[in-house]
A and B are shown apart, each in its own frame.
Chain A
Amino acid sequence: SAVISQKPSRDICQRGTSLTIQCQVDSQVTMMFWYRQQPGQSLTLIATANQGSEATYESGFVIDKFPISRPNLTFSTLTVSNMSPEDSSIYLCSVVKAKNEQFFGPGTRLTVL
């Protein structure tokens, strides 16, 4: 498996501000992803965090709104920019280990007022 930590675990933010979420893994991984889970809903992939290059975004998500950094194989950040109440969600990072097994972090619960 993988030990994944996220910071912060939760936050309450004001409209128009930005929040950066950190994801740290206990070992080097090639594939790392960021997902969003809106209240009571399923998980939706935001982007693939690529080490050393720009993230690959899914349809409906753009770099200006969700800039991602991946400086090395154990760490990534997701920024939620210019937040609105619609951004209130749980944000999760995940990593892929051997045999395609994908493990998730504990999530960051974001509330935008």
Chain B
Amino acid sequence: QQQVKQSPQSLIVQKGGISIINCAYENTAFDYFPWYQQFPGKGPALLIAIRPDVSEKKEGRFTISFNKSAKQFSLHIMDSQPGDSATYFCAATSNTGFQKLVFGTGTRLLVSP
């Protein structure tokens, strides 16, 4: 019940295309859903996050879509750029879980020039 399932494992997108990464959870106590971007040799960087009271959040080219009834959320990267090539992790946590993050398995994104 603590798992967060992430797909796809890897993704290749052409420059200018839309990258879509999906995550699903089971624990209904989760109330905060961040996405992290990690480049090789670096720590994960917080990209964007959403709470269940909204269905969508947009920051620049990055959008989170959230479906509370389906217990799913996704990251959309519009106009994908080669510089977006990285590994992306979804995560979930709750105040009742003492803010401990449960991570998805990661998606390795490659944006081809």
Contact = CB atoms under 8 A, between A and B. Distances in A.
Interface of A: 1, 4, 31, 33, 41-45, 48, 58, 92, 94, 96, 100-107, 109
Q: Closest 7 CB pairs between A and B?
A: A104-B43, A42-B103, A107-B43, A106-B43, A43-B103, A100-B32, A104-B44
Contacts, number: 52
Interface of B: 32, 34, 36, 41-46, 49, 89, 93, 95, 98-101, 103-106
Given A45-B101, A92-B43, A102-B101, 6 more contacts: A33-B100, A41-B106, A42-B106, A43-B101, A102-B34, A109-B41
Contacts of A44: 103
A101 B42 CA distance: 18
- Determine chain A's interface SS by DSSP, over half rule: strand
26 contacts: A31-B99, A33-B100, A33-B101, A41-B105, A41-B106, A42-B103, A42-B105, A43-B101, A43-B103, A45-B100, A58-B100, A94-B101, A100-B49, A100-B93, A100-B95, A100-B99, A101-B34, A101-B49, A102-B34, A102-B101, A104-B44, A104-B45, A104-B46, A105-B43, A106-B42, A107-B43
B35 to A, nearest CB: 12
Given A100-B32, A101-B34, A102-B99, A42 B89 contact: yes
A10 to B, nearest CB: 9
A84 B5 CA distance: 30
B42 A102 contact: no
B99 A96 contact: yes
A92 B44 CA distance: 9
A58 B93 CA distance: 15
